[in-house]
Structure 1
Amino acid sequence: MAENSAISWTRHTWNPWMGCTKISPACDGCYAEALMDKRYGKVKWGNHPRIRTGAHTWNDPFRWQRQAEKDGDRPFVFCASLADIFDNQVDPQWRADAFEVMRKTPRLVYLLLTKRPQNIVKMVKEVGFMPPNVAFGSTVEDRDRLKQNLPHLIVAAGLRPLFLFASCEPLLGDLGDLSPWMRGDPDTQTLRDGERFEKGIKIGADGWPKLPAIGWWITGGETDQGGHKSRPTHPDWFRSIRDQAASFGLAYHHKQNGEWVPTQADDGEWPTDLPEFCRLTPSGERDDDGWPMQKVGKKFAGRQLDGVTHNAFPEVAA
């Protein structure tokens, strides 16, 4: 349903079906719901039947595969921007059919981004095979989702995807120390001196988990969607993820700043006449010690972070 995606971190988007149910704060301003439910009325969001897309959409990956063979590259394909590939309310046969398409288009790298990483292993086992050309990712918008989602994503690394990635969009809070998820260990099974296993995860002699690295970090601010008004993201939250990824040598991609930018009057005093104004601290608490944020719109806010456009992608074998 997209020949060339407007999403900066993928070449194409592919939607074998449409529809989903909201399960986390990141879902509050769901782009897909605003577009396909509220605007076009193609599918009802929530506890309603999902809609399988047509033959043309299901044939798109084969066209992209032929072009990739001609070009000699491996384009990224986001599956799915209008649904969740690991949605509980989807007919399991649809997922099996989608996996078969992925298997038959090996030059494409499928980005399986989900808000339900706890379903990955179970649902792959239900299909009976996993295409070798997929990467697993999870949405991580705040510290609660960091704690809930990333352990399941790490478990899914046992299925040997091409890589793991985290989509911190919309970023709704400071994620804090990410080193346990960025510090990779190529051998998570063998114990060395001072190491131990806890709940199936190897703990190093320093007390930190020894896990496969989540190798790609994507960040982005929220935008207005239908009746949902965007929430601001403090630039320090982006900077923290950027800097930590750089320190571990991991790929970092910043999609957008959202609708908001920090603002301060020339005399150092906070302005009092800003439209849709709020005070927001890096910790996510709003109080008089916060930083003023002004809503200026997505186009004006842009993609740059401290004057730099971050477009990094993880490397995959040719």
Structure 2
Amino acid sequence: MAKKESSISWTNFTWNPWMGCHKVSAGCKFCYLYRNFENQNQDAKNVFINTSQLFKPLSIKKSQLIFTCSMSDFFLQEADKVRPQVWEIIKNSQHHTFQILTKRPERIKKCLPKDWCQKNYSNVWLGVSIESMNELHRLHTLKDVPCELRWVSFEPLLGEIFLSKDEIDIIDWAVIGGESGTNGNYRKSELSWFLSLMYQLRDSQTPIFFKQFGTWYHHNHFYLRDWKGEKYCPNFNEFFRIRQYPKIKDNG
């Protein structure tokens, strides 16, 4: 893998062919995207095509884990016209692995390219965000999409989640984390929620990437402090130092 260029701990590189988004569920309440846009006196709801970054993956020669649309949602309706071009870029960048995460899985099938199949797009991981049991339906929608790898981001975790064996079998990779924020704009994730979910997934040997406890613990619990999932304090609980990945195809 090439040198890490993203501040998001579970990826190497972020690519934003478009930027801006709309809030759709409880997990969006304190979204970092909105904070970033507000800091620049911009309206995050005004989606725009980021033309300067559109072809970026084609210029990166060494294999990368690329989180696609970290500042939007890949299946956002406003991107429908440009998305076919982005699919072509992805297909022509087989040496990269593209991590696509959405809160809109109901739009996936209608937004796939005509030549979609695991052979042509084996470098794509499709994932959904699940913050609580209220969003568990997203996993069932994802199950019906043929793809190389299905993953879930349980972040920010806002409640205890109970998975059936069939639901666990859908998940090829799980990212788990609490909420980050500023000025009190963050919610606490209970340790029991993390532990319960991790035990459920570990029993099935599902790769787990525990990202962070969240900002509440950073300010209120010395032994569980971390820095946005990037750096642990010296006394960080060993049980949570788990950062696994599924097997990654490396073609360059």
In 2: Cα distance, 1:253 partner to 1:170 partner:
14
- Count of matched residue positions in the alignment of Structure 1 and Structure 2: 238
- Partner-residue secondary structure (3-state), 2:95: coil
1:143 correspondence with 2:121: no
What root-mean-square deviation, in Å, do the aligned CA atoms of Structure 1 and Structure 2 show? 2.4
Aligned-residue identity in percent: 25
Matched to 1:311, the amino acid is R
**Counterpart in the other structure of 2:195:** 239
**Counterpart in the other structure of 2:11:** 10
In 1: Cα distance, 2:73 partner to 2:103 partner:
7
Displacement of 1:3 in angstroms is: 6.8
Alignment of 1:1-318 (within 5 A): 4-35=5-36, 37-42=37-42, 44-46=43-45, 48=46, 50-55=47-52, 57-64=53-60, 66-68=61-63, 75-90=64-79, 92-124=80-112, 127-130=113-116, 131-146=121-136, 148-156=137-145, 159=146, 161-183=147-169, 213-225=170-182, 229-261=185-217, 294=220, 299=227, 304-318=236-250
CA contact (8 A) 2:210 2:240 kept: no
CA contact (8 A) 2:151 2:172 kept: yes
Displacement of 1:60 in angstroms is: 2.2
Displacement of 1:12 in angstroms is: 0.6
In 2: Cα distance, 1:164 partner to 1:316 partner:
13
- Partner-residue secondary structure (3-state), 2:195: helix
CA contact (8 A) 1:29 1:228 kept: no
1:178–1:170 distance in 2 versus 1, CA, 3 Å: farther
User: What TM-score, normalized to structure 1?
Assistant: 0.69
In 2: Cα distance, 1:298 partner to 1:231 partner:
16
Gapped runs of 5+ residues in structure 2? none
Query: For residues 259-315 of structure 1, what are the alpha-carbon distances to aligned partners after superposition, in whole Å with 9 as ceiling and x for unaligned?
Result: 2339xxxxxxxxxxxx9xxxxxxxxxxxxxxxxxx3677539965554441110111
- Partner-residue secondary structure (3-state), 1:176: coil
User: What TM-score, normalized to structure 2?
Assistant: 0.86
Matched to 1:51, the amino acid is F
User: Highest Rg: 1 or 2?
Assistant: 1
- Partner-residue secondary structure (3-state), 1:128: coil
In 1: Cα distance, 2:54 partner to 2:144 partner:
30
Query: For residues 178-201 of structure 1, what are the alpha-carbon distances to aligned partners after superposition, in whole Å with 9 as ceiling and x for unaligned?
Result: 422113xxxxxxxxxxxxxxxxxx
